[in-house]
Amino acid sequence: MNSDSQSYDVAIIGAGINGAGIARDAALRGLKVIVLDKNDMCSGTSAVSSRLIHGGLRYLEYGELPLVYESLRERRCLRQIAGHLVQALRISIPIFSGARRGRALIRLGMIAYDILSFGKRLPRHDMLDRNGIKEEVPGLRDEGLLGAARYYDAQVTFAERLVMENLLAAQSAGADIKTYCTVCEIRVLKGCISSLVYSDRQGEQTAISVRSVVNAAGPWVDEVLKAAPHQVDRFVGGTKGSHIVVGQFEGAPKDAFYVEAAADGRPVFIIPWNEQFLIGTTDIRYNDSLDRIRASREEVDYLLNETNRVFPNARLQIADIHFAYAGVRPLPHRDKGPESAITRRHIIKTNRNIAKGLVSIIGGKLTTYRNLAEQTVDKLARILRRKSPTCRTADTLLPGAWGVDRARELLLASKLLSDKGVDRLLSIYGGRASNIIDLANRDATLQKTLNDDGVHLAAEVLFAIREEFATTLTDIVFRRMMIGLDSDQGRSLYTAVAVLAATEINWSADTQETEMQNLVEYADSLRVT
Ligand SMILES: Cc1cc2nc3c(=O)[nH]c(=O)nc-3n(C[C@H](O)[C@H](O)[C@H](O)COP(=O)(O)OP(=O)(O)OC[C@H]3O[C@@H](n4cnc5c(N)ncnc54)[C@H](O)[C@@H]3O)c2cc1C
C-alpha cells in the first residue's frame, strides 16, 4: 500500500455535480480538498438527467414550495455564473379535455410559479387558446385540445461541462482531482475520520490522511458507507429514469413540451436539445445493480407512445432513436408510496454514529447543487472548527463564463473553424475556447479540423488530455468534446480522435485498439435495438 504524504481537510467521494460543486466551494473557502471518483468525472447520474435547470413545476403539486423557491433562485444564479452553459428554455403545456390536470389547475400552478420566480428575470407565463397553440405548433394533436400554458425555465445542454467547470474552479483554488480511483476503505480513529484508502485502475492502493469525508456518491452513497467500520441503515432508495434521443420529426415543436402521459398521468418532457429531441422520463423504483443501467424496452415504448400521441405525425419508431440513457435518482429511501411523491429535497446527513467528520449527501438536483454545496461546506467548517470565509460561489463566474466575447473574436480571426464550429466551441468551452486557439497557434498540426466540415478542432483532443484530465477515449468523446451525444454518437470522428490521443498519451498500438473497442462498446450500449 502506498501512502500519500499530503494531508487533506476534506476528501470528497464522487465527481458528479454535487461532489464537484462542494469541491469548488470548499477550495474557494481555503480548505485543502481532494476529489476521488471511481470512474471519470460526471459518469454517474449527473450525465443522465433531463438537463433542465428548473424550479420543478411538478413539485408544487406536492406542496414543496421551499424547494421550488430555492430552485428558481438557483436557476437565476446559474444563468449568471454559467451563462455560456445554461440557457433560457420556453416550455409549453398542452391542455387536453379529460386530463388529470385541467386548465384551472395548470393556470394556478403557473401563477404560483411566477410568484415564486419574482425578480428572477425570465418572462412570465401566458395562456393560449386552442387556435393560438395550433397556429404555433400545427403538429400538435387536435383531438380534445383546449389550449396551452407557456412558461420559461432553463436548460444545461451539457451537464458534463457544468461538472467539469466546477472541478476546474476547484482545481485552480488548490484542490486535487483524481478520477478512476475507487474509495474502498474509510478509516476511523477514536471516533473521528482519520484516513481513507483508494484503489486506482491498476488495483494499486493508496492511503491518504483526511480530517473529514463528504460522501457525494449519488445512488452509490450506501455502497460507499460499507467501506466504513460501522454499518448503518439504508439512506438512498432511488428511482430509475430513462430518456430517448431522436432527430427532427414531422410536426415537431420549436419549444419544449411538458405533457401529461395518457398511460399514468406522469409528466413527460419533449425537449429540443443538441439539435435533436430529448424525451423523458420514467420514474420506477429501482433496487438492482447501479452500474451500467439501461433503458428497458417498456420504458422506450412508453416514451415513444406518449410522444406519438401528442404529435401524431411524428410516428416515431425504435429505428428513429439515436440513443437512450438511464440513471437512478439518488432519493431518500422510502419503502412505500408513489415514486413521484418522494421528496426531491436534498438531505446533508452527518454520519456521527459512524465517525465525526463523515457527511453523506442524499438527493439533490442539478439545479440546486450550488446551494447544497454551500450548506455542506458551512457544515464542514463547523465540524472542522474552522472559521470559514463567506461562500463566494453565487457571484463568482465559472471558468468558461469569463471572456466569451473575446474568445469569439479570436476564433473568428483565426479562421480555423466554420461559423457552426465557432458556435459549437463556445457552447462547450465558453471563454476557455481561447485556450484551445492558443494551443492550436503553438502547433500547426493542431489547427486542422477532424474532418472537412470545419467544426471540430484537433487541438480539442489535446486540450481534453492536458487541461481537463481526460485519460480514455470515452472520456474525450462523451464528456469533454461532447461529440458522443451527436446524432451519430460522433462515430465518424473516433479514428481521428484516437490517433491524436494515442500520440499525446504515448499509447501502444494494443492500447489504442483496446481504447477504441471500449469506446465503441460504450457507444453501442446506448443504442436501442
Ligand atoms: C432520470 C433523471 C432525470 C433528472 N433530471 C433532472 C433535471 O432535469 N434537473 C435537475 O436539476 N436534476 C435532475 N435530476 C437529478 C440529478 O441529475 C441528480 O440528483 C444529480 O445529478 C446527482 O448528482 P450527484 O453528484 O449526487 O451523483 P452522481 O452524478 O451519480 O455522482 C456520483 C459519483 O460518485 C462516484 N462514486 C460512486 N462510488 C464511488 C466510490 N466508491 N469511490 C469513488 N467514487 C465513487 C460515481 O462514479 C459518480 O461519478 C435527474 C435525475 C435522473 C436520474
* 366 and 246 both lie in a single domain: no
Q: Residue 189 is part of which domain span? A: 2-46+160-232+343-383
Mutation test of ligand 1: which of 49, 64, 197, 362 has the most ligand atoms closer than 8 Å to its C-beta? 49
Provide the domain count of the chain: 3
Distance 168 CA to ligand 1 centre (A): 18
**Which residues line ligand 1 at a C-beta cut-off of 6 Å?**
13-19, 36-39, 43-46, 48-52, 54, 182-183, 216-220, 224, 241, 281, 327-330, 361, 364-367
User: Same domain for 438 and 459?
Assistant: yes
Tell me, yes or no, whether 74 lies in a domain.
no
Please report, for the domain that includes residue 516, its CATH number. 1.10.8
Q: Considering 329, 353, 371, which residue would you say is the last residue of a domain? A: 329
Residues 350, 246 within the same domain? no
- Together in a domain, 367 and 465: no
Same domain, residue pair 321 and 362:
no
One domain, residues 249 and 348: no
Statement to judge: residues 177 and 213 lie in one domain: yes
Quick check: is 6 in a domain?
Answer: yes
Looking at residue 175, which CATH number applies to its domain?
3.50.50.60
Assigned domain for 390 exists: no
SS3 label, residue 332: strand
Residue 475 lies in a domain: yes
Q: Fill in the amino acid letter for 434.
A: S
52 occurs within a structural domain = no
Tell me the pLDDT of the chain (529 aa) as tens digits.
Answer: 888 778 999 999 999 999 999 999 999 999 999 999 999 999 999 999 999 999 888 888 888 888 999 999 999 999 999 999 999 999 999 999 988 888 888 999 999 888 888 777 788 999 999 999 999 999 999 999 999 999 999 999 999 999 999 999 999 999 999 999 999 999 999 999 999 999 999 999 999 999 999 999 999 999 999 999 887 888 888 899 999 999 999 999 999 999 999 999 899 999 999 999 999 999 998 888 898 899 999 999 999 999 999 999 999 999 999 999 999 999 888 777 766 667 778 999 998 889 999 999 999 899 999 999 999 999 999 999 998 899 999 999 999 999 999 999 999 999 999 999 999 999 999 999 999 999 999 999 999 999 888 999 999 999 999 999 999 999 999 999 999 999 999 999 999 999 999 999 999 999 999 999 999 999 999 999 8
Percent helix / strand / coil, the chain, rounded to 5: 40, 25, 35
**For residue 123, what is the domain's CATH number?**
3.30.9.10
Does some domain include residue 115?
yes
Q: Report helix angle 65-81 to 369-383, nearest 10.
A: 100
Q: Please say whether the dihedral angle defined by the alpha carbons of residues 253, 256, 259 and 263, taken in this order, is positive or negative.
A: positive
Within this chain, do residues 189 and 252 fall inside the same structural domain, yes or no? no
Q: Which atom of ligand 1 lies at the shortest distance from residue 21's CA?
A: 25
Asked if residue 51 belongs to a domain, the reply is no
Do 172 and 137 reside in the same domain of the chain?
no
Is 219 a member of any domain? yes
Q: Give whole-number Cα distances, 209 to 26, 34, 39, 443, 504, in Å.
A: 17, 11, 22, 41, 33
Query: Does residue 227 sit in the same domain as residue 243?
Result: no
My answer on whether 101 and 180 are in the same domain is: no
Cβ–Cβ < 8 Å for 349, 360: yes
251 and 132 share a domain? yes
Three cell numbers written together for 262: 395518457
